[in-house]
Structure 1
């Protein structure tokens, strides 16, 4: 694994830096991306640092992405945050730069970077960015904008510190970020807020999950359901953990028909499920993974493979 010092030397070398992350961004993808941008800007005010990718309306508190002309990539350093495999990188110009760095905490799928920093022991890529700042003794550069982005990224990938990827280092990082006197109550409330119409859909999910006696649960959101509740697929997927508090639950899969594919988000309580996701062309963490299938028949095959983990 390359070191933080190697990353810092590349950041110092380039005048233009473009930061990418994965499609369908979650708080950690955006937190690590924008937190890294703001850190570099604080350390090197003269540099041009951009965040690219599609805007995610449900996470607008992270701010809007930048519009970057193709020509800016010619002599640029490109950094991709929180993305294990190249096909999931948002904005496929990521390989058009002069040098490419990958920073991630997922089990590695593609080492697509010229420099790859992957630490699967970190709760989140946001925690890795904090660790890099700490290693460079740059904590004095952390301002409210940096702290807010990284804190929300850590909160998002630890499930508000409920998941088993929360470590003493994670809590120390969060505590240091809170020293910036960020309004974390307000930030967390904003990140959790949902439009009123979404609660009707949540009601549907809670009334229509399918739970087996062995602790396996599946939720199937078809295109007809999306139309009935007038909800886009990305917002429907916000409810992947709506069933997480069911007593006896061990593995669950939340599947949403996105038109061209059925996106399946898989979660578990202490049971490794990313091997099943990988077998179906996906991937992720041992207890939180994802995969896309092309039909509901394929989804049933995936569900059966997950149920077999409980045998």
Structure 2
């Protein structure tokens, strides 16, 4: 990471009395883990400062921690730090722009450098791994790491590496995970809690496995509003099953699309070809092997799937 940016960030953290932490909408374990670990770290470093976490919480990840109630007035002369978010429109709670200064900390390919400081490290497995590196770069190490910070960072790394199965898992990722595991938290119980699903969600997964399409090494499924209602499941909970078809023999990429009423959210995954440029053409972006896009009709979704087949084949 850029040492000058790290030093400037450290100076701003020292100088601002209010620090507000944001992350992306529909948070995953890395977004929440990095956000709440950084909050706990800053509260430990600066016990007299106001440090707040912004955004909506999703029920299945509430065990990681809680968000704060934030007033508009809190943003006056505040430092805003946005974690794990590639572009401004995806930031949960658009009041982030009301702060005095904005810092972006992210591991996605840079799409929108909206920060006054942009700390982007695409080689990191996760933003949680980046926060662990920041603690090391700050020189705080064992003085500031504790069980709560280690737990949040660990679950963030586990989430974004697919429990260390994805190809973004580096030697450094494993070194940091090993360091975090030295702290006292029940990692097995935490991972089980992260993976836990309701009975109706499991029934929905059965529907996905029986109804996805597979052609030319590409899998796809479109979850309609009627299907969501049939299984009494939210669009966000449905998206947790994006990798249900990933073990099909010969599959190279897949699209998991969910109708959210005013838009269709298409999650794209790949085992071989880069798909983030395709996602960018459809109002999205992300990693080369894991991206998201937004379309506004089933016809546009079918066009996206056709383009993905062309890329794969």
* TM-score category (smaller protein): over 0.9
Distance of 1:97 and 1:49 partners within structure 2: 13
Instruction: In structure 1, list runs of 5 or more residues that go unmatched.
Output: none
Q: TM-score, normalised by structure 2?
A: 0.97
Q: How does 1:23-38 map to 2 (within 5 A)?
A: 23-38=25-40
The corresponding residue for 2:200 is 197
Distance of 1:174 and 1:123 partners within structure 2: 11
How far apart are residue 181 of structure 1 and its match? 2.4
How far apart are residue 3 of structure 1 and its match? 2.7
Determine helix, strand or coil for the equivalent of 1:260: coil
The corresponding residue for 2:60 is 58
Determine helix, strand or coil for the equivalent of 2:268: strand
How far apart are residue 293 of structure 1 and its match? 0.3
Would you say the 8 A contact 2:5–2:117 is kept in 1? no
Residue 146 of structure 1, aligned match among 136, 149, 167: 149
Residue 301 of structure 2, aligned match among 283, 299, 302: 299
Deviations 1:36-90 (A, max 9, x none): 1011111111111000101111211122210011111101110000001000000
Distance of 1:16 and 1:270 partners within structure 2: 44
How far apart are residue 285 of structure 1 and its match? 0.1
Instruction: In structure 2, list runs of 5 or more residues that go unmatched.
Output: none
Q: How many aligned residue pairs are there?
A: 310
The corresponding residue for 1:159 is 162
Q: How does 1:165-204 map to 2 (within 5 A)?
A: 165-204=168-207
Distance of 2:15 and 2:172 partners within structure 1: 30
Determine helix, strand or coil for the equivalent of 2:160: helix
How far apart are residue 215 of structure 1 and its match? 1.1
Q: How does 1:103-114 map to 2 (within 5 A)?
A: 103-114=105-116
Q: Does 1:123 align with 2:125?
A: yes
Could you say what the CA RMSD is over the residues aligned between the two structures, in angstroms?
0.9
Distance of 2:254 and 2:113 partners within structure 1: 29
Worse overlay, 278-287 or 56-65: 56-65
The corresponding residue for 1:244 is 246
The corresponding residue for 1:13 is 15
Distance of 2:234 and 2:277 partners within structure 1: 29
How far apart are residue 155 of structure 1 and its match? 0.6
Distance of 1:178 and 1:153 partners within structure 2: 13
Determine helix, strand or coil for the equivalent of 2:167: coil
Distance of 2:161 and 2:83 partners within structure 1: 17
How far apart are residue 211 of structure 1 and its match? 0.8
Determine helix, strand or coil for the equivalent of 2:312: coil
Distance of 1:148 and 1:134 partners within structure 2: 17
Would you say the 8 A contact 2:220–2:256 is kept in 1? yes
